[in-house]
């Protein structure tokens, strides 16, 4: 469950939501506080300006007529609404009945002509918002102080905080449930995708996942999965065909060995007959050993668990050596070999390249017509050394051209006529690929085939 995408998405969204909601809560609390305190400050400022309008100077004495002010909240003792007027020497010359009746005063705070605001503890140790502003008269400077209780304001802020504490967990829980449900609903396509994959086994590797109607995010995954399945199906098919062909190739010598053993052991034999049987068994065992060794060689080549001995090699010299080795075989079948080759140097493994061209030329002779011809050409083209081996043999159909490089595969028309393991061209392609080259085939049924091997030329060095 800890590794559930649904749970992870829910946790991450709730985490982000918590940060946003907490930040928003603090921001709203701060803004509400500014609004509430700001409204009190505005009211206090208006009260101070109103009281300042009652100040008079008569006979160098400051007089205040506040009968019009001493009403309402100002007339109720300790009501939370207060004012007082202070001279420059600190003497209080007037204050609201809400203070005087209770025998209380506001703390005298120095100020100037610019209004100043403070939060103080007033009578009964309750918080007050205090504004003070000085006014210069002809005889003295007078400071007017007005204060208002903050209890109601703090009560509003506490109520807001309590509401947030109730709303936040509720929204948090509902959001979590909603996200969990929505995420599960959104991920149902993955569950469907998973169930379809579970239904695919080695028996139905040809099955594909239909990407039509799928969410866009899953379409690329579906395409990748189907591509992987095509490669896997092809690999399984090759493996199955390989096992079938390997069994077929090994079955013949095994059957021969068993037959000769059964016949020989059926009755007493002369020493000469036993020796003949052993020679035949040895021959079949050698054939089996050769097939097994070539299978292992192809596997090492294709898995790249071998190392090439690279050196500067001359392809013309290699082709001449291969031609000399196979010329007696060609002459025995009445086949003429023509060589047209220029000196070409590449970086390659000489022994492996000899194996490549021996296999190709051997096939060109094997699958040729009696009194046929093999033309070998070697040249360079656009940074590649190109070696072409063309024969006048039976040809290969278009459908079989790619399969001829598969292990144990031989063209059907040749199976009953020409003996062979069907591993030669697999080895050819693996070695050429290891040289960063490629093999191409052109063929027409009844006219012959042309194998072209492309190998990278050595880089041309320019003189400084």
pLDDT tens-digit series, residues 67-78: 666 667 777 888
What is the Cα–Cα distance from 88 to 105, expressed in whole angstroms? 16
- Strands 336-341 and 373-381 come out as parallel
CATH code: domain 216-303 is 1.10.287.130
- 173 pLDDT higher than 90: no
Q: Which pLDDT belongs to residue 376?
A: 93
Q: What is the pLDDT of residue 410?
A: 61
What is the percent of the chain where pLDDT is above 70? Answer: 89
Q: What is the mean pLDDT of residues 188-211?
A: 77
User: Tokens for 34?
Assistant: 């500014």
Residue 347 pLDDT level (bands cut at 50, 70, 90)? very high
CATH class of 311-456: alpha beta
Q: How far apart are CA 128 and CA 122, in angstroms?
A: 6
- The rounded distance, in Å, linking the Cα atoms of 107 and 113 is 18
Q: Which of 424, 330, 442, 312 is nearest to 388 (CA)?
A: 442
Largest Cα–Cα separation, the chain: 164
The average confidence (pLDDT) of the chain is 83
The model's confidence at residue 454, banded by pLDDT at 50, 70 and 90, is very high
Long-range CB pairs of 78-81 (<8 Å, 24+ gap) are 78/102, 78/104, 78/123, 78/124, 79/149, 80/126, 80/128, 80/148, 80/149, 80/151, 81/147, 81/148, 81/149
Banded model confidence at residue 336, pLDDT cuts 50, 70, 90: very high
The CB density around residue 205, as the number of other CB atoms within 10 Å, is: 16
Task: Please enumerate in sequence order all residues whose Cβ is within 8 A of that of 275, keeping only pairs 6 or more positions apart, or say none.
Answer: none
What interhelical angle do 216-264 and 188-198 show, nearest 10? 10
**pLDDT above 80 (res 315):** yes
User: Which residue pairs from 242-247 have beta carbons closer than 8 angstroms and sit at least 24 positions apart in sequence?
Assistant: 242/406, 242/407, 242/408, 245/407, 245/408, 245/409, 245/422, 246/291, 246/295, 246/407, 246/408
CA dihedral 314, 315, 319, 320 (to 10 degrees): -30
Task: Fold for 5-156, please state it.
Answer: Beta-Lactamase (3.30.450)
C-alpha 401/C-alpha 398 separation (Å) is: 5
Domain boundaries, the chain: 5-156, 216-303, 311-456
| 371, pLDDT greater than 70 | yes
Q: Which of 284-293, 294-303, 455-464 has the highest mean pLDDT?
A: 284-293
For the whole prediction, is pTM greater than 0.75? no
Reduced to 3 states (helix: H, G, I; strand: E, B; else coil), residue 441 is strand
CB 81 within 8 A of CB 106: no
């Amino acid at each position: 469950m800890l590794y559930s995408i649904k749970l992870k998405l829910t946790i991450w969204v709730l985490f982000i939501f918590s940060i946003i909601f907490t930040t928003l809560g603090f921001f709203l609390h701060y803004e509400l506080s500014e609004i509430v305190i700001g409204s009190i400050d505005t009211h206090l400022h208006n009260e101070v300006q109103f009281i300042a309008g009652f100040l008079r100077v008569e006979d160098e004495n400051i007089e205040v007529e506040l009968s019009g002010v001493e009403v309402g909240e100002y007339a109720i003792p300790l009501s939370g609404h207060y004012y007082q007027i202070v001279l420059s020497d600190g003497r209080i010359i007037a204050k609201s009945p809400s203070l005087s009746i209770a025998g209380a005063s506001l703390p005298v705070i120095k100020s100037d002509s610019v209004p100043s605001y403070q939060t103080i503890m007033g009578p009964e140790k309750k918080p007050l918002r205090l504004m003070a502003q000085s006014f210069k008269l002809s005889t003295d400077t007078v400071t007017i102080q007005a204060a208002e209780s903050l209890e109601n304001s703090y009560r509003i802020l506490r109520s807001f905080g309590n509401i947030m504490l109730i709303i936040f967990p509720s929204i948090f829980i509902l959001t979590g449930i909603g996200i969990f449900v929505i995420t599960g609903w959104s991920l149902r396509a993955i569950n469907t995708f998973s169930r379809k994959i579970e239904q695919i086994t080695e028996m139905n590797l040809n099955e594909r996942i239909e990407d039509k109607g799928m969410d866009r995010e899953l379409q690329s995954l579906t395409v990748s999965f189907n591509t992987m399945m095509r490669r896997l199906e092809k690999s399984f098919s090759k493996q199955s065909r390989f096992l079938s062909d390997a069994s077929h190739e090994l079955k013949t010598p095994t059957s021969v060995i068993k037959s000769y053993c059964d016949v020989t052991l059926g009755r007493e034999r002369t020493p000469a007959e036993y020796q003949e049987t052993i020679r035949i068994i040895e021959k079949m065992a050698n054939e089996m050993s050769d097939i097994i060794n070539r299978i292992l060689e192809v596997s090492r080549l294709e898995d790249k668990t071998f190392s090439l001995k690279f050196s500067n090699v001359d392809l013309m010299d290699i082709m001449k050596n291969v031609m000399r080795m196979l010329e007696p075989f060609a002459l025995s079948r009445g086949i003429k070999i023509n060589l047209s080759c220029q000196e070409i140097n590449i970086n390659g493994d000489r022994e492996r390249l000899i194996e490549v061209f021996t296999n190709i030329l051997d096939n060109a002779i094997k699958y040729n017509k009696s009194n046929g011809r093999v033309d070998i050409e070697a040249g360079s083209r656009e940074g590649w050394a190109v070696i072409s081996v063309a024969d006048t043999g039976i040809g290969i159909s278009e459908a079989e051209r790619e399969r001829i490089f598969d292990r144990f595969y031989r063209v059907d028309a040749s199976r009953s006529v020409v003996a062979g393991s069907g591993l030669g061209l697999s080895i050819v392609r693996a070695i050429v690929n290891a040289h960063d080259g490629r093999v191409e085939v052109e063929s027409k049924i009844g006219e012959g085939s042309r194998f072209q091997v492309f190998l990278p030329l050595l880089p041309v060095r320019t003189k400084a």
